[in-house]
Amino acid sequence: MSALDWVVLLVYLVAVVAFGFWSGRGNRRIEDFFLAGRQMRWWAVGLSVMATQISAITFIGTTGQAYTDGMRFLVFYFGLPFAMVILCVTMVPFFYRARVFTAYEYLERRFDSRTRTLTSLLFLLSRGLSVGVTLYAPSLVLSVILGWSEPATILLMGGSTIVYVVYGGNKSVIWTDVVQMAIIWIGIFLCFGVAVAQLPPGFGLRDALALAQTSGRLKIMDTSRSLTTPYTLWSGLIGGLFLMLSYFGCDQSQVQRYLSGSSLTQSRLSLLFNAFLKVPMQFLILLTGVLVFVFYHFHPAPLLWNPVEMRKLESQAPAAELAAVHQRYVAAAARRQGSAEAWVRSRTPEAQAAYQAAAAELGAARGQAVKMVEAINHGARYNDTNYIFPSYILAHLPRGLAGLVIAVIFAAAMSTLSGEFNSLATATMVDFYQRFVSSSGSDARELLISRLFTALWGGFACLVALRAGQLGSAIEVVNRFGSYFYGSILGVFLLAVLTPRAAARGAFYGLMIGMAAVFAVSRYTAIHFLWYNVVGAVTVFVVGLVITAFSPDPPAARRSQARAAA
Amino acid sequence: MSAKAPSPPADDERVPVFGTWPRIYAAVIVCALAVMALVAVFSAFPY
């Protein structure tokens, strides 16, 4: 990074922390600290919802995925607009009118306290662990690409976020998210613009798209009905719908954002704002990744994108074998460039076949190198998708702009972390501390304890991130952990909102059986993960209704209380 | 529990732009379908 890049990054960090402090002043009660006093406007909440969802690894991983696999990941978001409409009709009015702090608090009113405790505990477990991975993943990529110290990167990213969230709570979270989302949007447009501007002379955007299309990078709509094929149109529409319903309707890190709206109208508008913008935004990010793919047809790309693994390969692999692979790779790259230019000029089937053969040869040469590095790492799977975009930024973006895009990666990470620290503290305080430790206390004392919980969760995330390097495959377990019960929790909320007759016993045991069903599906079938939430939600809903049908009638008082909540 | 306010609030804000929520939801769904149709055209267009 040049000095100018450093200046840009430091200005971003100092400005965002200072703005976080300034915007978060004036907290007097925990309602101010956790829900920004329920005073926020729709556009601020909407941008905060968007910023919380887009993590750093989403930003750099999605562009990398477009490079390696094309744009079909876009269908992942196809269910989102429909989920937002369903939530605006169902969950949001219930949450808002119940004046709850957490989504799980509503379940106590509708069912019983143990359902609330279990769902909140599941949220704390999964989100508490995954927030560490959210911090670790971009820190690892940045430290490898930029040569920074990994612990220092984790502490810089995590520490600067903790500082302003502990002081300002949700007000700081939302207002810094607004700024960070603006920076992310600017970064996305700049990256897209630079990628277009860097196409070779005489090679227009249409040629680039033609090249991407012939290499399969523009294939988005896969109408296969297979449940095992990733990112089909149906898994995006149906599985994506359930995933988004779970995430935006039952995950406290998102529910808390729209509970901060100044009215039900403002909360609804904040979600609908995302329904309009999310798919176009992801489209632009993926298209940028595709343009980077085209860019590397005309510029030398490294054999492996992870420089640490590349150095390991150079020092540990047999030199003659590696030299042969490298020679094959360079020759294939030159052949691919020539055949790409020939195909774009002629557009004949023969030229297309020659291009595709050259691209396959390049892939085979790289595959050889990947096998070598996997052999050195005792068979551990090698994946460098997340390193592609940061490598491109650093090597090919103009001075200053590279610093801005690194700041965008920081902004994407910090906006997710801030919302998660705040929501974890809220669930701990409202669902556990106030119920099991102390239900009465002065506003000042409750505020102090809320800040303490925020700091503790921030510290825990840093600790997990610092240790994540030694966790190895445990990180994958942590990432999968949430998917086991995300859909099941949605099933409990569907029971609560859609069926006034559903009983607490049905919800509680339905949740257990739903999680077991998802675990069995993930363990014993090859069904793609986007369907897990459908399996979980439907199982809980059906089992909950069956158990309710065979349960003794609850007392009259409990029945009327449940009806009022539903 | 001190975290709960006593009474539910009235939502008396006027529904913006389309006047009613069902119309807004319909607009969102139509827009989402239009975006998906555009994406399909983008994906299959012979460049």
Q: Residues B5-42: pLDDT tens digits? A: 444 455 667 888 888 999 999 999 999 999 999 999 99
How close is the nearest chain A Cα to the Cα of B23, in Å? 11
- Provide DSSP, A71-136: SGGGGGGTTHHHHHHHHHHTHHHHHHHHT-SSHHHHHHHHS-HHHHHHHHHHHHHHHHHHHHHHHH
Nearest to A263 among B11, B29, B42 (CB): B11
pTM summary value: 0.90
Interface contact B21-A435, CB threshold 8 A: no
3-state SS string for A425-480: HHHHHHHHHHHHHCCCCCHHHHHHHHHHHHHHHHHHHHHHHHHHHHHCCHHHHHHH
**pLDDT at position B28, please?**
95
Work out the pLDDT band at B1, boundaries 50, 70, 90.
very low
Q: What's residue B4's pLDDT?
A: 43
Q: Tell me which chain B residues have a C-beta less than 8 angstroms from the C-beta of A97.
A: 8-9
The confidence band for A129, taking pLDDT boundaries of 50, 70 and 90, is: confident
Q: What is the CA radius of gyration of chain A?
A: 25
Q: Which of A56-65, A254-263, A418-427, A458-467 has the lowest mean pLDDT?
A: A56-65
Mean pLDDT of A193-216: 90
Residue pLDDT, tens place only, A164-176: 999 999 999 999 9
Torsion of CA A522, A482, A222, A354, to 10 degrees: -90
Residue B2: predicted pLDDT = 40
Residue with the bigger pLDDT between A563 and A79: it is A79
Q: Which of B4, B31, B39 sits opposite A283 (nearest CB)?
A: B39
Packed helices A42-53 and A264-295: angle between N→C axes, nearest 10 degrees: 40
What is the average per-residue pLDDT within A38-60? Answer: 91
pLDDT recorded at residue A249: 93
| Facing A221 at nearest CB: one of B2, B31, B43 | B43
**Among A30, A85, A446, whose Cβ lies nearest the Cβ of B29?**
A85
Crossing angle of helices A401-426 and A150-197, rounded to 10°: 130
A220 vs B contacts (CB less than 8 Å): 39-40, 42-43
| C-beta atoms of A441 and B35 within 8 A | no
Asked if B20 has any chain A CB less than 8 Å from its own CB, the reply is: no
pLDDT at A195: 86
Size of interface A-B (CB pairs under 8 A): 90
Contact A30 B3 (CB under 8 A): yes
| C-beta atoms of B29 and A81 within 8 A | yes
Return the pLDDT at B3: 40
Cα–Cα distance measured from residue A543 to residue A514, given in angstroms and rounded to the nearest whole number: 8
The average pLDDT across A224-242 equals: 91
Mutate to test the interface with A, among B7, B17, B28 (most CBs of A within 10 A): B28
Report ipTM for this prediction: 0.86
Asked if pLDDT for residue A477 goes beyond 80, the answer is no
Place of tokens 């359930």: A242
Residues of A in contact with B8 (CB under 8 A): 97-99
Q: Which of A221, A282, A286, A453 should one mutate to test binding to chain B, selecting the residue with the greatest count of B CBs within 10 A?
A: A221
Instruction: List all residues 6 or more positions away from A555 whose beta carbon is below 8 Å from its beta carbon.
Output: none
CB–CB contact A99 B9 (8 Å): yes
> Coil, strand or helix: which one is A40?
strand
**Hey, are the CB atoms on A210 and B29 less than 8 Å from each other?**
no
Residue A558 confidence (pLDDT) above 60: no
In this structure, what token pair is assigned to residue A361? 């040869």
Q: For residue B8, what is the nearest residue in chain A, using CA coordinates?
A: A97
Measured CA to CA, the distance from residue A345 to residue A341 in angstroms comes to 6
| Both structure tokens of A556 | 């009259």
With 70 as the cut, is the pLDDT of residue A555 above it?
Answer: no
CA distance B40 to chain A (A): 6
Q: What is the mean pLDDT of residues A133-147?
A: 87
Residues of A with Cβ-Cβ distance to B24 under 8 angstroms: 272
How near does any CA of chain B get to the CA of A566, in Å? 14
- Band of residue A22 on the pLDDT scale cut at 50, 70, 90: very high
Longest dimension (CA), chain B: 63
Tens-digit pLDDT profile for residues A354-383: 999 999 999 999 999 999 999 998 888 888
Residue A309 contacts residue A384 (beta carbons within 8 Å) = yes
Dihedrals phi, psi of A261, to nearest 5 degrees: -65, 150
Q: What is the pLDDT averaged over residues A277-282?
A: 93
Q: For residue range A428-469, what is the model confidence (pLDDT) as tens digits?
A: 999 999 999 987 788 899 999 999 999 999 999 999 999 877
Whether residue A420 is predicted with pLDDT greater than 70 in this model: the reply is yes
Per CB-CB distance under 8 Å, the chain A contacts of B47 are 206-207, 209-210, 213
Please check whether residue B29 touches A, CB under 8 A: yes
Q: What is the mean pLDDT of chain A?
A: 90
Asked if the Cβ–Cβ distance from A31 to B36 is below 8 Å, we say: no
> From the CB of residue B34, how many other CB atoms can be counted at a distance below 10 Å?
10
Look-up of token digits 């000042």: A444
Q: How far is CA A365 from the centre of its chain?
A: 32
Query: Rounded CA gap, A558 and A543, in Å?
Result: 21
Q: Which whole number is the average pLDDT over A238-248?
A: 93
**B15 closest CB neighbour out of A99, A100, A265:** A265
**Percent with pLDDT over 90 in chain A:** 68
